[in-house]
């Protein structure tokens, strides 16, 4: 019984860390993967570096975006925000 009382604070710390750090991070990763897979040609997007453009081609892990200065090939994970849905919600 005494040993259980000694390890109880450590167990509580682990449980708290799981619910406040690990679990939210896993949810965020899952949402990002769903977002990346839901991209389609014609979507207006913003990359994590701040470039604005429109999706012109999609590959398994990459995307080609059209900007005012030309076309750029990037990783899907570099896309931060999809503007088409956000613009349609406001209208």
Q: What is the DSSP letter of 77?
A: G
Give me the phi and psi of 75, to 5 degrees please.
-75, 145
Question: In Å, how far are 22, 50, 86 from 25, measured between CA atoms?
Answer: 5, 23, 24
Summarised one tens digit per residue, pLDDT across range 2-41 is 787 888 999 999 999 888 998 999 998 898 888 888 899 9
Task: Give the H/E segment covering residue 3.
Answer: helix 2-17
Going from N- to C-terminal start, the domains of the chain cover 1-38, 40-91
Summarised one tens digit per residue, pLDDT across range 42-82 is 999 999 999 999 999 999 999 999 999 999 999 998 998 88
What is the number of residues in the chain? Answer: 91
Architecture of domain 40-91: Roll (2.30)
Question: For residue 45, which of 27, 67, 60, 16 has the smallest C-alpha distance?
Answer: 67
Instruction: Reply yes or no on whether the pLDDT at 84 is more than 80.
Output: no
By the 8 A CB rule, do 44 and 83 touch? yes
d(CA 40, CA 79): 12
């Amino acid at each position: 019984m005494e040993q259980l009382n000694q390890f109880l604070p450590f167990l509580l710390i682990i449980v708290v860390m799981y619910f406040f750090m690990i679990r939210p991070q896993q949810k965020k990763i899952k949402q990002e993967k769903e977002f990346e897979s839901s991209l389609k040609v014609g979507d207006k997007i913003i990359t994590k570096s701040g470039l604005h453009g429109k999706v012109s081609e999609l590959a398994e892990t990459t995307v080609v975006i059209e900007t005012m200065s030309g076309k750029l090939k990037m990783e899907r994970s570099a896309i931060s925000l999809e503007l088409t849905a956000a613009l349609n919600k406001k209208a």
